[in-house]
Amino acid sequence: MAAPARVRNPQAVLFACGLNSVRSPMAASLLQQMFPQALYVRSAGAKKGELDPFAVAVMAELGQDISRHRPMTFEELDDWEGLNFDLIITLSPEAHHKALDLTRTHAVEVEYWPTQDPTTTEGNREQRMQAYRDVCDGLSLRIRKRFARGGGVGL
């Protein structure tokens, strides 16, 4: 049985994590870079955090500037522009539960991509940076697989 067109070919994608300070802004930037004209991409968090400087540094290594990203919650995003997304990809358990709760009465697909939180990594600066790089690499691979399958963005 074929999936509905909105699942195969989303027009608007929201990435969500716990604080909208590391994983979801990284994922949003990666997807936007891969398909700059094809999708509307945003990120939000279950709660509001502060943008993580290690996330900014890792993305800068890839030539992507997320330094102007301002973390926001689902509620702030909803107030600002609405939660009009075809697909919400959650990266943490807290964000997944929040997304399911907020979309109970909406026709939106919610996918859960469990993603390690690199902020819990201890060690020197290079060890911590490597944890962020690993998360970024994992997100990049997952995004490529998800959005390439079945012409994910009109390819």
Distances in Å between the Cα of 81 and the Cα atoms of 44, 70, 85, 94, 119 are 12, 15, 11, 22, 29
Judge whether 2 lies within some domain: no
Number of domains in the chain: 1
Residue range 2-17, pLDDT digits in tens:
444 444 579 999 999 9
Judge whether 4 lies within some domain: no
Residue range 88-140, pLDDT digits in tens:
999 999 999 999 998 888 889 999 999 999 999 999 999 999 999 999 999 99
Query: pTM score > 0.85 for this model?
Result: yes
Q: At what angle do helices 125-148 and 53-61 cross, to 10 degrees?
A: 60
Judge whether 6 lies within some domain: no
Judge whether 131 lies within some domain: yes
CATH of the domain at 68: 3.40.50.2300
Residue 149 has a pLDDT of 57
Residue 106 has a pLDDT of 80
Domain range enclosing 41: 11-147
Judge whether 84 lies within some domain: yes
- The residues that bridge with 90 in the sheet, in sequence order, are 16, 112
